Structure 1
Amino acid sequence: MRKIAFFDTKPYDKEWFDTFIMNYDFEIKYFENKLNEDTVALAKGCEGIVAFVNDNLNEQVIKQLDDLGISIIAMRCAGYNNIDFKAAFNKIHVVRVPAYSPYAIAEHAMALLLTLNRKTHKAYNRTRDFNFSLSGLTGFDLHGKTIGVVGTGKIGQVFIDICKGFGMKVVAYDPYPISNVDFEYVGFEQLCQVADIISLHCPLTEQTHHLLKKETFDQMKDGVVIINTSRGALIESESLLEALKSHKVGAAGLDVYEEESELFFEDFSNVIIQDDVLARLVSLPNVVVTSHQAFLTQEALKHIAETTLNNLKAYFEGEPLPNEICYQCKKLNGCKKNHTERCF
């Protein structure tokens, strides 16, 4: 039975992985610790690891994993910007869960938009104190508004369908547009200029890092609403805060934050947060921050567990790895092997 080290374990992780583990020849060692230079030694005696989006898989961690005989990293998420692929290439294979539930992410993005617009978070707190005043709760019709969707992969497409159901006009930007669509592609600058609402559904790359910054906020309509359920570093946080303070941005719904790795998924309710930007964002009445929970549905958790275990099974049984990602895969032209065989 092969031993697998499972890092950054949450109760819902263990529940769903334990549901399916009896169908596989694995023994999982669960650790609540995030994976980093100080905790990597916990994987001693294991043949593979399961990691998450806020684990630190830098060059030093990769080297230590290699020294421990770890040959497979199974990410239980779609994102992989926390991995040093140059260090891993030709040493450790990396697999991921490319799409666990596009509906979960897209629906959460719309939930953030609806909450901000109709101010249900404020109304909820008021009525619990028997304050039934409607003052300050005015929203706007989504019908007829222009929404700019950045990224038209599976999640972006589902979100577009939801927006069209509300009668919104959709404009989209993607450096790799898909054909035969019922919405309009525009340049990124034009999207910023015409959109009443902008929702991010793209991966974090060198090209998209700080995609929204002071210069891009300056191009937007006054009072634009920003939604981000993708990766925190797509937005330069200090610039967003300044845009909110100046009313350039009318509201922001954030399920991710660029400095979230030491905060999100944990309880800091009795701690003074040292991140002044996040503390200010959370305090603003026109900002809703959720702790990277957009993926958190029963369907998504089930798919994450099954796909992760199947990825590990395929690796140890010498099968092709359709969900592998490597140094070459990160290049714009993609991996030449197209996942019909292993990346190395």
Structure 2
Amino acid sequence: MKKLLVRAPMNDESLERLHSLFTEVVYMPWTDTGERFYEKEMIACLLAERPDALITELDVINETVLKGYSALKFIGDCRASPENIDVKVCEKYKIPVLCTPARNANAVAEMWVSTLIAYERNLVDSVNWTKEKQWKPGTTPYHLWMGNEIYKSKIGFVGFGAVARNIAKLLQGFNVEISFYDPFVTDSSEYKKVGLEELFSTSDYISIHLPVTDTTKMMIDRELLSLIKKDSLLINSSRSAVVDNEALYDLVASGTIRGAILDVLDSEPPLESDSKVADIPNILLTPHIYGASHQVVDHHSEIITQRIIDYLNEQAAVAGDRL
């Protein structure tokens, strides 16, 4: 193939490898041009550059785009799942879509552990208390901000893919008991596989790691949430749509559940009706940043480049050649 258009940020090493595979590589990542391209901008970009292949991360690729430009031989998407791309339409046009699964698994895992510790050790409130000059003679911060250790706790994962497994590895030094629910994971020799009801009713920390599908939408409903122990926490760093959040907010606000740590909301950025969750004292809310590390660019650069090499090798093998 002659020309590759790169619309995702990539590291120099991977760009160099891609230059060896294509006659021309045009590097114009969204981080330079400013946010994603929607239909009109994407079609204009493709018609101007006329690439044989595309690497993207945020740009919208749907039928309108592919009708406007139909010469792509494949699309590389620097995301764990191609939420910005209509995969069914790509299949219709016979355009393979290559993704980068687990590109931010380590970033999410590190953030998961750090926010849980921050929550349990009252980090945010104690820092704000100190900055607000509340540490005065007669105060006893050692007792005022005394928190909980996660040592020897029971942690249950709903969904046990790359992110959950990375978290489990990081937790090995905390001597925790790990269980998981995942009908697609059969190898449970290292960790305990349990049913959903058992996981929700016995875990000290319940962590959600589910994609949004017809099966998983609102899967974590009020009935399941009501099984959570009063002193337990729910952590959701995957997708908001898999949880009945109205039920979760009610249960936390009423004290039925001790609290929650959330990196996702039903609307992002939140609508005024959604922002009430930020006012619930026992919910730690972050703005969907668990996977946001500078190193993720290195991870997805390496993964997508290798996937492209493998794909081109497969095509070359069919033609009786090899890269």
- Establish whether TM, by shorter chain, passes 0.5: yes
Residue 280 of structure 1 pairs with residue 281 of structure 2: no
Q: 79, 82, 106: which one pairs with 1:80?
A: 82
- Which moves more between the two structures, 281-290 or 117-126? 281-290
Letter in 1 for 2:68: D
In structure 2, the residue matched to 1:141 is 149
- Per-residue CA deviation, residues 128-167 of structure 1 (Å, 9 max, x unaligned), is 2222353763422322322111122232222223334212
Residue 224 of structure 1 pairs with residue 218 of structure 2: no
In structure 2, the residue matched to 1:97 is 100
Letter in 2 for 1:118: R
The percent of aligned pairs where both chains have the same amino acid is: 22
Letter in 2 for 1:49: L
Q: Give the CA deviation at 1:298.
A: 4.5
1:84-163 aligned at under 5 Å gives the runs: 84-91=86-93, 92-132=95-135, 134=141, 137-163=145-171
Residue 294 of structure 1 pairs with residue 290 of structure 2: yes
RMSD of aligned alpha carbons: 2.8
- Per-residue CA deviation, residues 75-134 of structure 1 (Å, 9 max, x unaligned), is 212123454332221412111011225332222111121111111011111212222353
Q: Give the CA deviation at 1:225.
A: 0.8
Counterparts in 2 of 1:55 and 1:237: CA distance versus 1, 3 Å: farther
Mark the runs of 5 or more structure 1 residues left unpaired by the alignment: 264-272, 322-344
TM-score (norm 2): 0.80
Q: Give the CA deviation at 1:21.
A: 1.9
1:116-265 aligned at under 5 Å gives the runs: 116-132=119-135, 134=141, 137-179=145-187, 181-260=189-268, 263=269
Q: Which has the larger radius of gyration?
A: 2
Letter in 2 for 1:198: I
Give the distance between the partners of 1:111 and 1:163, measured in 2 at CA. Answer: 11
Q: Give the CA deviation at 1:38.
A: 4.4
Counterparts in 2 of 1:185 and 1:79: CA distance versus 1, 3 Å: same
Give the distance between the partners of 1:175 and 1:195, measured in 2 at CA. Answer: 18
1:143 partner SS? coil
Give the distance between the partners of 2:148 and 2:123, measured in 1 at CA. Answer: 13
Give the distance between the partners of 1:47 and 1:289, measured in 2 at CA. Answer: 42
Give the distance between the partners of 2:101 and 2:151, measured in 1 at CA. Answer: 32
Q: By percentage of residues, which structure has more helix?
A: 2
- Per-residue CA deviation, residues 38-57 of structure 1 (Å, 9 max, x unaligned), is 433233333333333x6555
Q: Give the CA deviation at 1:182.
A: 2.9
TM-score (norm 1): 0.75
Residue 62 of structure 1 pairs with residue 63 of structure 2: yes
Give the distance between the partners of 2:170 and 2:314, measured in 1 at CA. Answer: 38
